[in-house]
Structure 1
Amino acid sequence: MTLSDRMSRFLRADVQGMHGYAVQPSAGFVKVDTMENPFRLPAPLRQALGERLAEVALNRYPAERGDVLRAELAKHARMPEGCDIMLGNGSDELISLLTLAADVPGNVVMAPLPGFVMYEMSAKLQGLRFVGVPLTPDFELDGPAMLAAVREHQPALLYIAYPNNPTANLWDDDVIDAIIEAAPGLVVIDEAYQPFAARDSLDRLRRHEHVVLMRTMSKFGLAGVRIGYMMGRQPLIAEIDKLRPPFNVSVLNCEAALFALEHVDEYAKQAATIRAEREKLHGEIAKLPGVRAFPSEANMILARVPDAKRVFEGMRARGVLIKNVSGLHPLLANCIRITIGTPEENPQTLAALRGALEELTS
C-alpha cells in the first residue's frame, strides 16, 4: 500500500481537503499584516529578561510558576470574585478546548461573520455544526438576525469578538447585551484587542454566569510567547480545565509573561502610542480617493479600496506587507487590513498605499 493510499484510507477526508494556515514570508518588509505589537522592549529590559530566562530550569516540566502567572494575570485583568482563570497556548488552544468541551451531538457553534476564522474551523474539526450570521454592510451586528438565529439554533457556544477581527470595530452594547440575555449556552467574549479599545466586558462577566471572557498576551506585546487566558465562573473553568494538556505553557513562556507583567507600564506606553498612531493613519487613509477606512478600536485598520489584489501587490512591491482579506467573506469585497506599525513605519505604509492606488489609475 502506498503512502497516498494509507492517507486516503486512514486520515480524515475533510482534513485532506483543507488548506493549512498560510504565513507570508516577511523578511525585508515593513510587516503590517498580522496585528502584532511592532515594538520590542528597550535594550536594558531585553538584557534583564535574557538573564532571567537563563536561570529557568529547562530540565524540569512547568510547575507552580504557571499558578503564579494565573494569579498575576487575574490581578492585571481585575478578575471578578467567584471567577477563575485558565491559561492556553494562545487563544487558539482555548477555542479548541471550549469546542471539545461542547462536543455534544446536536450542539451548534455560532458567531457573526466575517470574524476570526478559528471559531468556525475549530467547530468543524470537532464535528460540530457552525452557524455564521452575517454582519451588516457597515460591519455592525445585525441584532434582529442574531437574535433570530439564537432562537432557531440554540447555540452551545456563541462567540462575540470585542473588537472584531478583521473589521476592528466595537459593536453596539445594547445589541450585545440582548444577545447575551437570549443565549442558552455559553457566550464567549473574545477581547484579544482589548489594550487598544475604549471599552471592555468585565461588567458582563460579573453579571452573567454564562459569559466567558477570553484575552491574549499576543496583542499586549508577546505574540511570540503564545499566552492566552480565559476567565469565567469557577465551576465552569474547572470543567474546561480538565481538557487542558498538562504543561501546555512552557517555562520560558511563563517566565517571559511574568516579566512582562512586572513591566506593564512599558507595554501600556506602547499601546498608547499605537492608539495615537492609529488615529493619525486612519485620518490619512480616509482622505485617499476611492478608499473607505472603517472605524477601528483595535491595532489595525480595515479599508475598502478599488482593487484589493492589485493594491496588495502594489504595496508589496514597495516593501510593505499587508493582508488582503477580500476573499474571506463576501462582505469584505476589495478590503485590505493594515496593522498599525511604529511611527517610523506608518508613513512608509501610507506612501506605499498611495503609490499602489496611483498605479491603478496610471
Structure 2
Amino acid sequence: MTTTNPLQHIRQDIQSMHAYAIQDSTGMVKLDAMENPFSLPPELQKALGERLGAVAINRYPGARIEDLKQALARYVNLPEGCALMLGNGSDELISLLAMGCDMPGASILAPLPGFVMYAMSAQLQGLAFHGVDLTPDFELDEAAMLAAMRAHKPTITYLAYPNNPTANLWDADVIRRLIAEAATYGGLVVMDEAYQPFSSHSWLDEIRAHPAANANLLLMRTLSKFGLAGVRLGYMVGPRALVHEIDKLRPPYNVSVLNAECALFALEHAQVFAQQAATIRSERERLIAALATMPGVHPFPSQANMVLVRVPDAQRAFEGLKARGVLVKNVSKMHPLLGNCLRLTVGTPDENVQMIDALRSQL
C-alpha cells in the first residue's frame, strides 16, 4: 500500500516558519514578557473566584459580552462616531485585519524592529510585508516611511505607540503626516497601544480632537498589560463603519464568559490596576537610573513597562541573569539595530533589585 505524507498539504512557507517562542520560566523571576507583576489582593481574589463560580459556563457567551463592550467604551471614553470590538487578545485582531484586507496587491507595512505579529499575520494570510528600519536612536525614519508608503501603498500601516521592543513614543507630528499620507490612497493606519497604562500619551486624545484627520485610523489596546495577560482580551476602536466590517470576521463567541467576567470585574476595580501601573512607572524610572550607573550599559528611554538596554555582551548577560534565576528577553538577534540589547520587564520592587544585582554581577 502506497502512503503519502500528509504534511504535503501544509503550506511550505508555514513548514519553514518558527513557532512563536515562549521561554520556560519555571522557578525564575519572570521579567521577559512585559506582564504586570502584581496579583490581585487576597480579598479581590476571593471575590473574583466567587463571581466566576456563578458564571453559566454551560451556556454560550451572551449579553455579558455587550456589557463588557459598554464598560470598555465608558472606560476609554469612546470618541463620538466610533465603535468598539473585542478580540481574543490583540493577536486575534491583527489576524482579522489581515484577513479582512486580503485583496490582490494588498500589503502590510510596519517599522522595524517592532512587534513580530504584524509581519507574521501578513505571511499567514499570504500578504506582502514591508518593514522600514527605524533610525539608530529608534525614531521613525519619516523619509523612508513615506517613500515605502508611496512605493507600495500598503493596505495597513502599523504604528505601535509605544513601540515594542524599543519602548519609546514616536514624534506625534511625524505620525500625523504618515496618517495623512495613508489617507491619500485609502490606506488604513492601525495604532497599537498595548502599553498605554504606562504611557504619558494616548492617540485617543488625537482622535477626539481631530476626528476627520483620523478617519482612516483604528486603535488597538489589550488588557494584558493592564494586568490580565492570562485573560487574553484585546479591543479595537475606530470609525463605526470600519469596525463594523472587521467585526464580521470575528469568530462566534471568540471571548469566553469567564474572560468577559474577569474583565468586567477588573474594570469595576480599575483603581487597583491604576495604582499598580503607577508603581510600575515609578519602578521603571528607578530601574533606568540604576542601569545608567553601570559601566558599559546604556538604557533607552521608556514609556512602557519594559526597558531596552544595551550591554557589552547580550548573550553573556542573558545567560548570567538566567543562572541567577532572573529571566529576561535577549532581543539582540531580532534586528541589527538591537545589537547587544536586552529587554527587561519592569517587575516588583524586590524583583527589580534582584535583576539589578544579577546584571551588575555580570559586568
The answer to whether TM tops 0.5 is yes
Opposite residue 348 of structure 1, the aligned amino acid is Q
CA distance in 2 between counterparts of 1:57 and 1:265 reads 28
Q: How does 1:18-29 map to 2 (within 5 A)?
A: 18-29=17-28
Residue aligning to 1:360: none
Contact (CA 8 Å) 1:315, 1:352: kept in 2 or not? Answer: yes
> For 1:248, what is the secondary structure of its paired residue?
coil
Deviations 1:233-267 (A, max 9, x none): 11111100000000000000000000000000000
Equivalent residue number for residue 117 of structure 1: 116
- Structure 2 Cα separation of the partners of residues 213 and 102 of structure 1: 16
> What is the aligned partner in structure 1 of residue 6 from structure 2?
6
Determine whether 1:228 maps to 2:234.
yes
- AA paired with 1:291? V
Matching residue of 1:57: 56
Partner Cα distance (1:217, 1:2) in 2 = 47
Q: Which residue pairs with 2:206 in the alignment? A: 204
Distance in structure 2 (CA, Å) of the matches to 1:17 and 1:148? 31
Q: Who is 2:338 aligned against? A: 332
Structure 1 letter corresponding to 2:109:
M
Rounded Cα–Cα distance in structure 2 between residues aligned with 1:2 and 1:248: 37
1:215 maps to which of 210, 221, 224: 221
Structure 2 residue runs of 5 or longer lacking an equivalent are none
SS in 1 for 2:218: strand
Please give the alpha-carbon distance, in whole angstroms, between the structure 1 residues aligned to 2:120 and 2:246.
Answer: 19
Paired residue secondary structure (1:306): coil
1:291 to 297, 301, 326: 297
Matched, 1:70 2:69: yes
Number of paired residues?
Answer: 355
Per-residue CA deviations over 1:134-161 (Å, capped at 9, x if unaligned) read 0000101111111111111111000000
Aligned residue among 259, 278, 281 for 2:265: 259
Matched ranges for 1:99-110 at <5 A: 99-110=98-109
Distance of 1:11 and 1:108 partners within structure 2: 23
CA shift for structure 1 position 204: 3.3
In structure 2, C-alpha distance between the alignment counterparts of 1:280 and 1:258, rounded to whole Å: 32
CA distance in 2: counterparts of 1:173 and 1:44, whole angstroms: 42
1:239-278 paired onto structure 2 within 5 Å: 239-278=245-284
SS state of the match for residue 261, structure 2? helix
Alpha-carbon distance, 1:6 to partner? 1.7
- SS of the counterpart of 1:257? helix
Residue by residue, what CA displacement relative to the aligned partner does 1:99-121 show, whole Å, maximum 9, x if unpaired? Answer: 00000010110000000000000
Equivalent residue number for residue 322 of structure 2: 316
Q: Which amino acid is 2:176 matched to?
A: D
Q: Secondary structure at the match of 2:296?
A: coil
Distance in 2 of aligned mates of 1:303 and 1:189: 25
Distance 2:362 2:6 in 1: 47
Structure 2 residue aligned with 1:147: 146
Matched, 1:344 2:328: no
Indicate the larger mover: 201-210 or 51-60: 201-210
Structure 1 equivalent of residue 189 of structure 2: 187
- What residue number does 2:36 align with? 37
In 1, the alpha carbon distance for the partners of 2:137 and 2:154 equals: 25
Deviation at 1:2, TM superposition (A): 5.1
Matched residue SS, 2:110:
strand
Fraction of identical pairs, as percent = 63
**AA matched with 1:203:** D
1:27-84 deviations in whole A, cap 9, x for unaligned? 1111100000000010000000000000000100001111110010011011101110
Q: Is the 8 A contact 1:205 1:213 kept in 2?
A: no
Asked if structure 2 preserves the Cα contact closer than 8 Å seen for 1:205 and 1:212, the reply is: no
Separation in 1 of the partners of 2:129 and 2:257?
35
Question: What SS does the corresponding residue of 2:343 show, helix, strand or coil?
Answer: strand
Q: How far apart are the structure 1 equivalents of 2:9 and 2:259? A: 35
CA contact (8 A) 1:204 1:211 kept: no
Counterpart secondary structure, 1:344? helix
Judge conservation of contact 1:311–1:353 (CA < 8 Å) in 2: yes
Separation in 2, partners of 1:89, 1:198: 26
Contact 1:108 1:131 in 2 (8 A): yes
Q: Does the CA-based 8 Å contact 1:100-1:126 persist in structure 2? A: yes
> C-alpha separation between the residues in 2 aligned to 1:332 and 1:82?
40
